[in-house]
Chains A and B, each alone.
Chain A
Amino acid sequence: MFNILNARCGCRPELGRCAGLWLHEGMPQKLLESPAVKVGISISIATGLYGISFGALSAASGFDFWQTMALSLLMFSGGSQFAFIGVVAGGGSGVAAMTAAALLGLRNGIYGMQMNALLMPGRKLKYLQAQLSIDESTATASGQSEPGEQKRGFWTAGIGIYVLWNLFTAVGALAGNALGDPKQWGLDGAAVAAFLALLWPRLKGREPWAIAVACAAATLLAVPFVPPGVPILVAAAVAGVFGWLSHARNDEGLEPDIDPYANRHGEHRSEGEGK
């Protein structure tokens, strides 16, 4: 849904020219210069490695190798997968595990809506794109303002995480606890940092800050009272109400016309200019 807002961002002054002119698919030598691809690769590695912890934890919870792999290959939503094995490990029933995983996965439906509007996939591509519509791919895509970059961000993060998450799930399931706790490598801290880094560039102006603080507070208040995953939906509802009300009186500040990568990757951008 940002595509219309961003249409005018295709040729932003700081880019010199429209990035899409020199960053096309089918130009692999340019692909690594794309800020979205860089972010996608970074987040793929950080998230993919965490698959080890899922594989190891799943094996420790009594799931066999193929059950563990089925969750990573077919469910492919980290939070839902951890919830599923967590409920079973805690002695919960299969139906309870399924319910927890499904609730935690509801936000992926919202991501699907956003990615459908943003990336405009064809009818067949939707079925593939849907499976890759998770936190990280959505965040990588919506952190970009140029349509080509949004696509590159989504697919780099989506495919990268799919491949690495499944690979490292297998490693974790086979190696079990031999690698030790992935937390000792700080991988959960990497996830926190990644989400903050994706949020950061959007926090320009008073209203985005107010929404972020309100949603963070709503999340924390909801955590003790609802199953894992639902607090994120509570925050989404708060943000939705906020958006509904604020639209009437104030229409500025929330367009994602800020470029999260302009400052940080300025040096690469300038290399690309004029090509």
Chain B
Amino acid sequence: MNLWFWILAACVLAYGTKLAGYFVPRSLLKNPRTMHIAGTMTIGLLASLTVVNALGSGQALALDARIGALAAAAIALWLRAPFLVVVIAGAAAAAGLRLLGWG
């Protein structure tokens, strides 16, 4: 029951965090500098999510099959492959490398 309490508290916090973003005044976001920062932040967040998913392992960095997925995705993108092909290339590279016993 104690665990249930923390689960629900964490869920309330998660939803509250998401919702809070929607109540930041929009006027703040009409400022050109704010919009410019939003552009840089989107790039920053996507870059961060990419590397954290590719190399992060808890509080450590790990070189495993996911780096193969990153490379395969980069090659697919460079060849102008469609989104789904890029995603499949990433999955196939990670699965393939693990099949070969790496990562």
Contact = CB atoms under 8 A, between A and B. Distances in A.
Interface of A: 1-2, 4-5, 38-39, 42-43, 46, 63, 67, 70-71, 74-77, 80, 84, 86, 88, 94-95, 97-98, 101-102, 105-117, 120-121, 126-127, 129-131, 133, 135, 139, 142, 183-200, 202-203, 208, 211-216, 218-220, 223-228, 231-232, 234-236, 238-240, 242-244, 246-247, 251, 254-256, 261, 263-265
B60 A186 contact: no
A216 B47 CA distance: 5
A256 B87 CA distance: 22
A231 B59 CA distance: 10
Given A39-B83, A98-B6, A192-B73, 4 more contacts: A108-B17, A186-B93, A188-B66, A264-B82
Given A186-B69, A196-B77, A227-B59, A108 B8 contact: no
Interface in B59-101: 59-61, 65-66, 68-70, 72-74, 76-77, 80-84, 86-96, 98-99
Nearest to A41: B84
A120 B11 CA distance: 25
Interface in B9-44: 9-11, 13-15, 17-22, 24, 26, 29-30, 32-44
A43 B91 CA distance: 12
B29 A117 contact: yes
Q: Contact size class for B?
A: 35 or more
A254 B39 contact: yes
A193 B51 CA distance: 10
22 contacts: A4-B35, A5-B35, A67-B7, A70-B8, A76-B14, A86-B58, A95-B6, A102-B10, A107-B45, A116-B21, A183-B65, A186-B94, A189-B93, A192-B53, A193-B91, A197-B86, A215-B47, A219-B47, A224-B61, A238-B44, A240-B44, A247-B32
B48 A216 contact: yes
Given A192-B53, A193-B91, A196-B74, A97 B36 contact: no
Contacts of A194: 83, 86-87, 90
